[in-house]
Amino acid sequence: MESKTIKRLRPFTLADAQEVTHLFNICSRATSGNDEFELESMINDWKTPGFDVEKTVRVLENEQGQIIGYIEVWDSSKPHVNKSVYGLLHPDHWDDDQFRTLLSWAETCARERISLAPDGSRVVMMHYTPNNDLQRKKTLEAYGFSLVRHFYRMEIELGSNPQSPVLPEGIKVTTIDINTELKAALLALDDGFKDHWGHVDRPIDDRLVEWQHYLQTDKNFDPTLWFLAKSEGQIAGVIRCNPRTVEDPQMGWVFQLCVRQPWRHQGLGMALLLTAFAEFYRRGNKRVGLIVDAASPTNATRLYEKAGMHIARQTDTYEFELRPGERLDTA
């Protein structure tokens, strides 16, 4: 076990990017058996507009100068009420007290940023952890985090030609024109997820700035995998996908799927999912994966099971209240 003396907790810089990405993959191998992170994508994340790595990210070094720990407080945009914390330690250097020190730094950092949130609003730290990372979960709970939600990773093998989608009457599906429809698609996604747990309304201009960053830097972005369901010119539903995952280049990935309230319960969610499956199959992808709220208000887990998907992993969501007040997120 690593000595309980903190060797050096210091600000992260982009010069650490490769070593930290390697650390992330060591940790992901311990929980999933796979490398889940790639350097280029991580750098894009660290360069996200509004994310101040100097103030909100720290790395932990041992006596030999090796980075064995990492902690971040993701709080890049308004209304700053949910501050996403991500902390980890190298499995060979795990120590409860060391991890508590990382969490303590994150709490201090997050509390210093409470004033960014609207007066009277509830402010929390959120931490997402693989269900089988028992050491990290135990330490989070001992620190005072509460388990509040589960998310499933669901997958399907595309062993044969997927069934054809059946669209509700009056609905057509097209790929996005990213030059003219990005804002409308983002607004539709926001509307489609407004009744989902944890959703927070964010200024559209902030979201557009972030998206322009990713459009310019993300080599995996493919607008032909972003489908819009339209009804009389209105966007009724959206499915946004990526052609691959880091751990499995033959796995297509569904980032978001939503149907807006007026068009629900007509089979549109299934039609959009099968549209994506068909396109992935046409491209030669062997598998498709996604993440879903285990307690989705639209019973999305059941929809994905009906489409042939199964639960492959679970992530647990922890919450630590920094300030009580009015909830600006969906409970």
Name the 3-class secondary structure at 321: strand
In tens, the pLDDT along 275-329 reads 999 999 999 999 999 999 999 998 999 999 999 999 999 999 999 999 999 999 9
Q: Give the Cα separation of 191 and 264 in Å (integer).
A: 13
Q: Do domains 8-144 and 154-314 have the same CATH topology?
A: yes
- CATH code for 154-314? 3.40.630.30
Q: Give the Cα separation of 196 and 244 in Å (integer).
A: 26
pTM more than 0.85:
yes
- Select from 3.40.630.30, 3.40.50.300, 3.30.565.10, 3.40.50.1820 the CATH code of 8-144: 3.40.630.30
pLDDT band at 100 (very low <50, low <70, confident <90, very high): very high
Please, what's the largest Cα pairwise distance for the chain? 66
In tens, the pLDDT along 41-60 reads 999 999 999 999 999 999 99
Q: Give the Cα separation of 209 and 29 in Å (integer).
A: 33
Going from N- to C-terminal start, the domains of the chain cover: 8-144, 154-314
Q: Give the Cα separation of 277 and 156 in Å (integer).
A: 9
